[in-house]
Every structure is written in C-alpha cells, then in structure tokens.
Structure 1
C-alpha cells in the first residue's frame, strides 16, 4: 500500500507528521472503500460491516467478542469498568501508562477505583514488582482487582514471558487482567508473535485502529460475549453509541489488512534514524523497539525548536519546544526519503554547531532523566 494515493492534499504539500502515529491522513482509496460500506445502525447492531470487523478482531485476539469504539480512551475505560464492580477497589498499572496519565482520571471517575502506580526500574514492570504492590488489605485498603498492562509502552515491547508471569501472579490472587494494547499491532509484528498469544493472558484488551494501523478513527475492546454485552450497554451510557459507522469499519479492516503488514518496515526506518542521531551525539533515551524515538539533544548544543524549524523546510513536522527532549513517532506514511531528509537536516545542524566552537559537556555532567521523567517531558501531555 502506498503512503498516499496523491502527493498533495487539497493543493497543499504533504507534511510528514512525526508527532504521533495518529497523524496519518485518510487516503482516496479509503474513501472509495467507504462508499461501498453497509449503512446500518450500530447502536441496534444492524450494520454488517461493523459486526464483521468486531468478529474478525475478536478472532485475531482469541476471544469471543469485540466492540467497535470511537477511541482508545473509551475502549480502555469500558474494559476497566466492566472488570470493576464495587468499591473499595484499585487498579495496578505502570506509572508511565496511558490509563494513569492521559485519560483524564477516567478510572476514578467511571469506576470509582483507586490507581496504584508501579514505578518500574526498567523499561517494563516485572511480575516481582507487581506482586509487591498488590493490595490485600480488607480493613483499610482498596483491594487490587485489576492489573492493567500497556504494550507497547513508549514504543518499548513488554516480553510475552513477563506478561505470562504477571498473569500467573494475578490469577493466584484472583485479580483480573486488562491490556492497553493501543500499539499491540507493533509488538506483534516486530516479535512475530500472533495476537492471540497475547490475548490469552487478558480478560479485556483495548487495541487501537488509528495508532499504527492508520485508520481514520476507532479502537476495539475485546473480551467474552458476556463482558462485551455489558460494555455495549455502558458505552451507550457514556454517550459512545454511534449510528451509521460501517464506513469507518471497512476503512479500519482495509488498514488492518494493508498497513499492519508494513509496520516492521516502519520500525526499520525508526531504528535507522535513531542510529544516525546517536552517531551525531544525540542521546536515545529509550530502546527503539518499534516506531518511537525519545531523544535528548543537549550534548549537541541544539534545542528541539532549532531542529523543528529546520525540518519544516523539508515538510517534516515534530513538536517544537525550547527544551532538549522530544518524542519522534513514525508511521506508514513516513517514507525512506523523509528519513533521509531528517538525517541530513540533523547532520547539518550538528556540524554547524561544531564549527561554531560548541564543545559537548562531559557525559557524567549531562542530566539524564529517569524513564518516568522522559515520558512526561519528551512530548506534550496532550499527545498520545
């Protein structure tokens, strides 16, 4: 599948947007497919294309049923709400996780649940770290009822062996498992691990159709038939029932079939860019497992706004800030040529700094953020 069916959109030059993988632009091919979609009412479950998409994604993840939702926030919140019944109770998750930091306190609002963050020492939390944070206090505590994992987390992959270990800890303590799998497609493609192998360890899974996959909008909640029936009811309560959305369902199915197989190519480009930036003295703050690069330019003398302004001249967009940390996100509409342009711009800027007499500070004097600070400072909190 080509990145775009045309090189120009509305007579404007195409912008290679690396702020997020939600920034993909629907193609003419998608719009053509939408025209042939069924036009039933999804609230009453009369749209065949929506039902086919739900059944297909459920099967991919090895579960009975799925629910098409407007966003990953909604599918996450529905999944957690359906696993939580009566306070006092709590959800245990990574301190860097999306459900904790970027969903408007939804767990507290919708589920009346406390959130217990795990401050992991590595790129992902371990079963040992999880077990140490489980609350079993039936007198003064909010008992842990759900463990929520995120894969990928800031682009890094949680190994399936560790997921199994956490699942075993959860089951031993009668705790349910939820996955924020917004970018699980990336983890699955990179590791060649089928989605159902991940799915077997979770009661509910949220998996995005716009991040990475490139669909115009949408996310799926996957679980048992009984749970999805309840989720559909609560979705209506939250105002998330939608009507003639078959056109969005067929676009999403098209992207699953055509974009998902290209994700590893995107990962290769991300690693190529990261390697080049590192060769210039840019610090890579997290492992580049998939499509995200977290950078610190302080040892090059550049600030992110310098890089951002120079990239604009090549029609490349990243978030601009006066600081030295940033998140760069690739997707299927980022071409090899755009990466070459990015590398050339970065090289020119760094070499110009060196010619001006800039000397990098000793490495031991360079402030290196913790992983938590990296996640909070490298990109705006409004970005997902």
Structure 2
C-alpha cells in the first residue's frame, strides 16, 4: 500500500468522474462551442455572483492572466512573502507582466489591512505604481491557514480607497469555505478576480477557472491565448470539474479531520520540534535540530509513505480524497510505534 501525502494534486479521477468525462458533450472551445465547458463557466460564475468565468489548464495560468488583466509593466503587486504567485510560479509576474512584488511579512501567509496601507507606494513618478493586492486562501506555505473574512473585508476597503484591484488565489478556496462555513457569494463580492482550482481538493485531473465581471474578463480569453492556454474539446475536463462540484466539496471535512489527527500524533513524537496549527488539509512540521530531514523522508518512503520537504527544515503532508481510512490507520500506527 502506497500512501502519497506529498500533495492533494496526486489524486486520480474516480470511476464515477471518469464516466462523467466519457459522457461529456464536447465541441471546439476556441470557437466557444464546447457545451460542457460553457456550462461549467456559467455555473461557477453564478456561484460567485460574477458575470463571467473562463476555464484554464492550470491555476498558475489563471493567476498569471489575472495579474496581466490588472497591471501594466512597471507596476507593483502587494502580496505576502509566502505567496504562491511569488514563490512557485517561476517568476511569471515579472516575466509575463513586467511587474514587481512588494512582499508583506505576514503571519502564516496572511496580513492585515494596516500592513496593506503601509505597503502602498507614494504617488510619485520615481516609485513603481501600486495597482494590485493579492491574497491566497488557504495559504500553502502557511500550512493551509484560512483568512479571517472580516480582515479581508478591511483590505477590500483599503483597495477601494486607493483604487487598487484585488485578486484571490483560491487554489484551495474550497477547503477554506468548508472549514469556515463560508460561501462563494461572500468571496465573490470582495474580489475583482478569483482563481479556483479543481485538481487539488476536488480530485480532478486538470483544471482551474478564473471569475470576474465582464469588464475585467473581456481580455482574459485573449491573454489565455497569448499564454498558450486555449483548448479545443476541453469539455472532457470541464465534465470532471462539474462532477467534482456536485460530489467532492462536502467531503473535504474528512481530509481536514485526518490532517488534525496526524498533527496530534506528530506532537507526541520526540523527534518533532513543532507542528504548525492545522485548519484544513495541510500538515507542516519541523524536526528537532539533531534530526536529518532527508533521512526522515527516506525512512517513510521505505515504508511506502511519501511526503515532501519544504526547505528550512520543514516537512509537509497533505490529505486528500485518495487518502483512505485504511491508509490513515496505517500511517497513524506507524507514528505511534515510532
């Protein structure tokens, strides 16, 4: 039995999802004639109270498109030092849009409205122009932490007062919504654009989507084309996303519960220095200084358990829908016997 906890992206489509994909009605999406893709885009736009949505092959491309929509070369984005758009998108913000990032030293990937206000550049020609604020929910490097919606509302007010656009990297937004008992409509009211992933917690093989109002989104399809993201009979992938929206959201609480149980057993191990607070499906922990992280990972691998290192001595596990109760029992017993 292989237990793969490196990421929630390692899942494979279930038989039911594959059947939904097989049954999908498709057309040429470049001509906007794929009925399943159109249905998905209309459904998600309505869920968030937005006018338009556009399907993308990846969350990175959706985020990079949003940055391009909101900025001009030379502008500056405000984001956290842990932000995915800064750390894990291959420098795409500077490469694709010619913008820089003003990094906020937040707490577990989250910051305050006051920090945003302080980070806005003065209105003088020798400063780069601040045009966009970006947040990530849940925070990846922050250990799956969920934003306080009240603080997000305060940040929105700062954006409005300073004519700044507001983008949400919602790669794991579904997890946050379930954990905090919040709604898509609440988030749709706060952000100019939101990218949402289907291939993480919802178990789809590929796909993300970007939502926004018509005025903002009218250029999105052109930018997606520039980035090489236009697709043809993509309804097969859209069908997987539609299936996931109907069947795989409510069960996310199971992933969260198992992650918390893993965290509890880790805190009892003498070789573990710290376990970061667990709200959703990500477990980040740190070994004592005398422990070898590479050796720890290798020992787990020899037992069929796969995790990853995050640098700086931190290790990560991510629960997901392919992580079964039997796998969970095996993992828990391994740690209890360690």
Q: Is the 8 A contact 1:316 1:338 kept in 2?
A: no
Distance 1:344 1:304, change over 3 A: farther
Q: 1:286 aligns with which of 256, 268, 276?
A: 276
Q: Is the 8 A contact 2:83 2:109 kept in 1?
A: no
Question: Does 2:241 match 1:255?
Answer: no
Q: How does 1:177-196 map to 2 (within 5 A)?
A: 177-196=166-185
Moved over 6 A (4+): 320-323
Question: Does 2:297 match 1:308?
Answer: yes
Equivalent position of 1:215 in the other structure: 204
TM-score w.r.t. the length of structure 2 is 0.93
Distance 1:343 1:95, change over 3 A: same
Question: Does 2:58 match 1:71?
Answer: yes
Which structure has the larger Rg over C-alpha atoms?
1
Question: Does 2:111 match 1:125?
Answer: yes
Question: Does 2:44 match 1:57?
Answer: yes
The offset of 1:64, in angstroms, is: 0.8
Q: 1:338 aligns with which of 320, 327, 330?
A: 327
The offset of 1:60, in angstroms, is: 1.4
Q: 2:130 aligns with which of 140, 144, 167?
A: 144
SS at match of 1:20: coil
Q: How does 1:226-375 map to 2 (within 5 A)?
A: 226-281=215-270, 282-298=272-288, 302-312=291-301, 314-319=303-308, 324-349=313-338
The number of residue pairs the alignment matches comes to 334
Equivalent position of 1:365 in the other structure: none
The offset of 1:340, in angstroms, is: 2.2
1:96-152 CA-partner distances (Å, limit 9, x unpaired): 000011111111122111211111256511111111111123221011100001111
Distance 1:270 1:225, change over 3 A: same
2-side partners of 1:228 and 1:222: how far apart? Answer: 8
RMSD: 1.9
2-side partners of 1:169 and 1:29: how far apart? Answer: 45
Equivalent position of 2:25 in the other structure: 38
SS at match of 2:78: strand
1-side partners of 2:115 and 2:54: how far apart? Answer: 32
Distance 1:127 1:305, change over 3 A: same
1-side partners of 2:156 and 2:249: how far apart? Answer: 27
Distance 1:295 1:26, change over 3 A: same
Q: How does 1:166-205 map to 2 (within 5 A)?
A: 166-205=155-194
Q: How does 1:97-108 map to 2 (within 5 A)?
A: 97-108=83-94
Q: Is the 8 A contact 1:215 1:252 kept in 2?
A: yes
User: Which segments of 5 or more consecutive residues in structure 2 lack a partner in the other structure?
Assistant: none
1:270-316 CA-partner distances (Å, limit 9, x unpaired): 001101110224234422110001111217x6434444344345532
Q: Is the 8 A contact 2:110 2:135 kept in 1?
A: no
2-side partners of 1:114 and 1:324: how far apart? Answer: 28
Distance 1:338 1:307, change over 3 A: farther
Equivalent position of 2:13 in the other structure: 26
Question: Does 2:68 match 1:81?
Answer: yes
Distance 1:251 1:162, change over 3 A: same
